[in-house]
Every structure is written in C-alpha cells, then in structure tokens.
Amino acid sequence: MQNKENDLRIWWIPQVPMEPFRHSVKNVAEAKNLLNALALYDIFQFEHKVKPDFCNMGGLEIFLEGEWNEWCDDDTGESIEEKEIDD
C-alpha cells in the first residue's frame, strides 16, 4: 500500500527493545482508542501472569513529505499521550 500525505499509523512496542507493531488508523481519536486498548491488554496479560514483566511504549506517526514523523497537534503542540479526545 502506498503511503499518502497525512496518513496516520500507530506504533506499539509490547516489550522494549523489540521492533514496533504498526497499524494504520483513520484519525487521532481512533489512534488514541487503539493505543489505550493495547496498553490495557498488556496490563491484563501482566496481571494474569501471561507475561512476567514488560516495558511497553507506543505512539502515533503521520506521513509528511515522504517520510513518517511523530504526530503532534498543529494547534496545541500536544503529543498523542497528552491529547484529550472529546467523545
């Protein structure tokens, strides 16, 4: 699939320092929801002793001028972690 200007994708590393999992999203709200679900899933696995420990991280990228860059809100400068999403 060819990347287009302003495409969005989340990235998730369930156990640092492994390679990130990436998944395309339609908008920032979908990205925030998916990142939260992945974080909760990792916590669930830890609490139920599926994995003994973990160090995860994730974020949102935007495709600009031919390359993927970490996303931030153009108006506020907030990252996906800081961004409040209205329902």
List the end-to-end C-alpha distance of the chain, in Å, as a whole number: 30
Check whether 66 has a pLDDT greater than 70.
yes
Q: Which pLDDT score is estimated for 53?
A: 83
Tens digit of each residue's pLDDT (9 = 90 or more) over 5-64: 999 999 999 989 899 999 999 999 999 999 999 999 999 999 999 988 879 999 999 999
Provide CB contacts within 8 A for 81, sequence distance 6+. 59
Q: Which pLDDT score is estimated for 71?
A: 97
Check whether 87 has a pLDDT greater than 70.
no
Distances (CA, A) of 75 to 65, 69, 78, 79, 82: 19, 17, 8, 11, 13
Distance CA 19, CA 36 (A): 19
What are the residue boundaries of the structural domains of the chain, listed by start? 8-70
Tens digit of each residue's pLDDT (9 = 90 or more) over 70-82: 999 999 988 888 8
